[in-house]
């Protein structure tokens, strides 16, 4: 059974704070790691797809890093804003079989104004 874990499960931060979350995944048979942001009653929104060890991606105030050898990815949010409040999901894809996502349980972020 492939296990993808995210931590913390939830957190509250003040507006302006920077924060980060972790996604841990099996280091063997790695193909890709996706990050999504999911706001309540909306569609999950694709943030990043990461494939190479050492990858760093950035989109505005959000960035992500990838370490495939040790099996983890970090998502960073700089200067959190209330509109960043959402659940952040990571999804792992293996080299074997179809391109189906194996999701973590998500990190629920609440940014307090």
Give me the residues that bind other proteins (CB under 8 A), please. Answer: 4, 6, 34, 36, 41-44, 46, 49, 89, 97-106
Identify which of residues 84 and 88 has a Cβ nearer to other proteins in the complex.
Answer: 88
Identify which of residues 17 and 55 has a Cβ nearer to other proteins in the complex.
Answer: 55
Tokens at 68, concatenated: 């495939």
Number of CB atoms found within 10 A of residue 84's CB: 19
Identify which of residues 4 and 111 has a Cβ nearer to other proteins in the complex.
Answer: 4
Identify which of residues 70 and 96 has a Cβ nearer to other proteins in the complex.
Answer: 96
CB of 100 to other proteins, least distance (A): 4
Residue 5 burial (C-beta neighbours within 10 Å; 0-12, 13-18, 19+): middle
Tokens at 20, concatenated: 């980060």
For the chain, give the number of residues.
113
Tell whether omega for the bond before 40 is within 30 degrees of 0, i.e. cis. no
**Dist. CA 85–CA 39, nearest whole Å:** 7
CB of 103 to other proteins, least distance (A): 3
CB of 88 to other proteins, least distance (A): 11
CB of 102 to other proteins, least distance (A): 7
């Amino acid at each position: 059974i492939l296990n993808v874990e995210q931590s913390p499960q939830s957190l509250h931060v003040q507006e302006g704070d920077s924060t980060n979350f972790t996604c841990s995944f099996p280091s063997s048979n790695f193909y890709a790691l996706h990050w999504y942001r999911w706001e309540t009653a909306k569609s999950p929104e694709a943030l990043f797809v990461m494939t190479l060890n050492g990858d760093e991606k950035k989109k505005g105030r959000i960035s992500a890093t990838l370490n495939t050898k040790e099996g983890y990815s970090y998502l960073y949010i700089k200067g959190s804003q209330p509109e960043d409040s959402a659940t952040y999901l990571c999804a792992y894809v293996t080299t074997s079989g179809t391109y189906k996502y194996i999701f973590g349980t998500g990190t629920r972020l609440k940014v307090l104004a």
